[in-house]
Amino acid sequence: MIRSLTITQLAENAASTPGLLGEHGASFFIEAEAHCLLLDTGQGLTLRHNAARLGIALERVTAVMLSHGHYDHSGGLDTVIACTGGAIDLYLHPEALAPKFNRDGRAIGAPIADPESLRSRVRRLILDPGPVEIAPGIQLSGEIPRRHAIEDTGGPFYRDAARTQIDNLPDDQALIIDTPPGLVVVLGCGHAGLINTLEHVQRLVPGRPIHAVLGGTHLLRASAERLDFTVGALAGFGIQYLAPNHCTGLAASCLLRRHFPDQFHESPTGSVHRFGAAV
């Protein structure tokens, strides 16, 4: 169990503090007792600048986890590798390095797509589709079963520029941190679906409540039916701390704030979330 946890929003669409920069992307700097981790790296346009403004030394990072392979979560890998001299363990689903394209046929995949090239630049490259322990009390969810059909990936994504092969984003995964009040779940985009993800977390760590959920939920283009389903199902988890951002979208964010006013927290660039002894 991680008894002291601090999560700093290092990159996000918006920045509410003077001197910080926003970009379409997400990155979380995670201090979990002796562990210094990074979940996602944003596009890489603001990572170094924001870290310096926030007094965060990127060279302290010893492990980087990618929630999935889209450019707005993996684009800063070069920056992190440069800052750490490659002395990091890099965790990702094998499909995170596969070609990825959007509805217009534009490439939106990771900037470093060759695993062997990547392997040569970091201390360890861990390509694993299943749940992976990063440290005691910290794990990646691995591939998330899609049990609720109403939760799609959040948009048309493809494996080829001609848009003939659907990409269901099997590489989407969440970070799970066990703290005294319960599990803290950090999402990159939540392409597997917020409720699918949280139910998977409960199966992985039975008997522990989900205390907090942070990150992207990809409800940006969700239908009214899906939003109603999400709010109803989310109420059943008893979550005490909810900080959706990035691809959640304004309508969904407002809906979640209205239904969970006491639990809702904003998380633009520079936000700091503390759990356990760090509170």
Q: List, for residues 240-258, the tens digit of each pLDDT value.
A: 999 999 999 999 999 999 9
Q: Which residue in 269, 259, 201 sits closest to 234, CA to CA?
A: 259
Q: Is the pLDDT of residue 267 over 90?
A: yes
pTM for this one?
A: 0.97
Average pLDDT, whole number, for the chain? 97
Backbone angles phi, psi at 71, to 5 degrees: -60, -30
Write b or e for each residue in 228-260: b if 16 or more Cβ atoms lie within 10 A of its Cβ, otherwise e. Answer: ebbeebbeebebebbbbbbbbbeebbebbeeeb
Tokens of 259: 């239904």
Q: Is the pLDDT of residue 132 over 90?
A: yes
The CA distance from 78 to 185, in Å, is 26
pLDDT, mean of residues 164-190: 98
Q: Is the pLDDT of residue 25 over 90?
A: yes
pLDDT-derived band at 113, boundaries 50, 70, 90: confident
pLDDT-derived band at 136, boundaries 50, 70, 90: very high
Q: Is the pLDDT of residue 194 over 90?
A: yes
Q: Is the pLDDT of residue 171 over 90?
A: yes
pLDDT-derived band at 166, boundaries 50, 70, 90: very high
Q: Is the pLDDT of residue 16 over 90?
A: no
pLDDT at 158: 98
CATH of region 4-276, choose from 3.30.70.20, 3.40.640.10, 3.40.190.10, 3.60.15.10? 3.60.15.10
Q: Is the pLDDT of residue 112 over 90?
A: no
Residue 27 near residue 40 (C-beta atoms within 8 A) = yes
